[in-house]
Amino acid sequence: MLNISRILIDGAILCLISSVFLLLLVRANPRYMLQDYPKEIQAIVPPKTPDEKRLSTLLGLPFLAALLAIPLISTLAFNARAGGAVPFPFLFLHAFSVAFIFNVFDWLVLDWLLFCAITPRFMVIPGSEGHPAYKNYFFHFRGFLIGTVFSALAGLIFAAIVWVF
């Protein structure tokens, strides 16, 4: 009953849109994402200024909106294509899978390849250049595990929304 090709397409759309928002945010100022950097890096740079906190929240909203809206819309469309008769477990698997695709992409491509292996200058926070925490692969694997839990919770919530309505 699952449409794997649709999950892959919608997951790829989520990866593309979310990655663009995320990379533009970091490109504008890597300090906007300071809370997502390893603690060792956070410890050696000044905390976010009030303006950076405000802007990171404001500019991070499109990223968060995409992370939430795309799996939900995808699951709504999946249910609609089936005439509204998709059982809850399949709604969950669909929503979870779309969100999980981004989680895997974020971990392997954005975190391990881009952040850890390549470490482009625009991702380095001034004052932390050359810090070994930029190569902390385990930090990002832990983030992947946390993202897996969030993908599952989002899958449950989105499936419940679609199933009830």
Predicted confidence (pLDDT) per residue in 59-74, tens digit: 999 999 999 999 999 9
Element (H, E) at 132: none
Which pLDDT belongs to residue 1?
84
Q: What's phi and psi for 59, nearest 5 deg? A: -75, -20
Q: Rounded to whole angstroms, how far apart are CA atoms 146 and 153?
A: 11
The first and second tokens of residue 71, run together, are: 């799996």
Return the domain boundaries, the chain.
Answer: 4-164
Mean pLDDT computed over 15-40: 97
Which pLDDT belongs to residue 53?
97
Closest CA to 15 of 74, 76, 70: 70
Q: Rounded to whole angstroms, how far apart are CA atoms 81 and 79?
A: 6
pTM: 0.95
| Other CB atoms within 10 A of residue 108 CB | 13
Cβ atoms of residues 152 and 96 within 8 Å: yes
To which residue do tokens 């405000």 refer?
Answer: 54
Predicted confidence (pLDDT) per residue in 86-128, tens digit: 999 999 999 999 999 999 999 999 999 999 999 999 999 999 9
Q: Residue 134: pLDDT above 90?
A: yes
